[in-house]
Amino acid sequence: MLKKFPIDIETLQGESGIEVYVLNKWKNANFVTTLKHLPSNTITAKVLNDGYSLFKNVAKGEDYLIEVQFSDPLKRLKYKSKKTKIKYSGPKNLRIIGTGSGRCGTSSFAKYLDGMRFANRKLVRARHESMSGLILEKIRDKATEEIKHYLLSFQHNVEISPYFSLIPEILDVGDKVVLIIRDGRKVVASGMARGWYSRASIWDQIKPDFEGTTFEKCCHLWRHTNENVINKADIVIKLEDLISNNLDEKFYKILGLSMVQKEFPKTNKSKNPPQYKWSKDEFSDFKRICGHLMDQYYSGWENDSLIKINS
């Protein structure tokens, strides 16, 4: 039995035609992409040595079948090809684009939306961090127009990613903009636990640098990313409200969604909320940097028991 094709492929509907990307290298393998025009059964093939190919001779409103397979005949005997059927329409705005600070539930939010219906009954096809490696590189290089090109060319209609909060100028490719906000204390604690500002990953390379300790930098990042988007967002949703299903009709109306009862995918199954232990200086730094935004969205936060101050 043939194995599943082991490479991630993304097919985009660009202005110039259908674009095919091989998103990860695999043992220096080469690939062949075949475009089949379904009404006429015309076949065009290209070699994907550089991981990218463009098919220009396509017509809007026509159906096409994209097939990617290994160039090596021996690998073809071992792995299935990857097939994608599309109706070419050219680039178009995303129906919804969503973002947040990171560690705020964007992945779960994409899963939550996927499979819902818009008010016109069209299916919601939501994805999270599509083409992340390539887009992260473009963010690092400040290639805003190239990022917009990718987003406008996606076949799905909803894209959610925390990275977009760092480049708010690209958010206009979405008909509706959603900001997912999470309690800053939890985000900062999670970021610290994950080594924010202490790794060499490209995610850390694109983060803006701030003065101060690593803790202060994580605080600044939470405030900075949320403030970047608040004024551009059509709606700001608290992760805590999503988890508790505390959504009103406004949520569905603004995003143009049909109302549905659906449980939010929970990544943390703990019944008891965590308690974070901070020093007095850390609590003071958090209040100084994040206090204003916390007061706006998490009224009374200073008086709850989430943070334990070390003496």
Secondary structure of 241-256 as H, E, C letters? HHHCCCCCHHHHHHHC
Residue 105: its pLDDT value, please? 96
Q: Clarify whether residues 186 and 245 are in a common domain.
A: yes
Given a cut of 60, whether residue 272 has pLDDT beyond it is no
What is the pTM for the complete model shown? 0.94
Q: Clarify whether residues 44 and 193 are in a common domain.
A: no
Q: Clarify whether residues 174 and 62 are in a common domain.
A: no
Query: pLDDT digit string (tens) for 15-53?
Result: 999 999 999 878 788 999 999 999 999 999 999 888 899
| Domain end point (choices 41, 71, 87) | 87
Cβ distance 155 to 185 under 8 Å?
Answer: no
Q: What is the DSSP string of 232-290?
A: T-SEEEEHHHHHTT---HHHHHHHTBPP---PPPPS---SSPP-EEE-HHHHHHHHHHH
Residue 151: its pLDDT value, please? 98
Note down the domain range covering 73.
9-87
Comparing 190 with 28, the larger pLDDT belongs to 190
| Cα–Cα distance, 256 to 204 (Å, whole number) | 35
**What's the full length of the chain, in residues?**
311
Task: Calculate mean pLDDT across residues 185-195.
Answer: 95
- What's the CATH number where 73 sits? 2.60.40.10
Considering its fold, how many domains does the chain have in total?
Answer: 2
Query: pLDDT digit string (tens) for 153-163?
Result: 999 999 999 99
Describe the strand order of the beta sheet including 94-100 as a list of residue ranges: 126-128, 158-160, 94-100, 174-181, 235-238
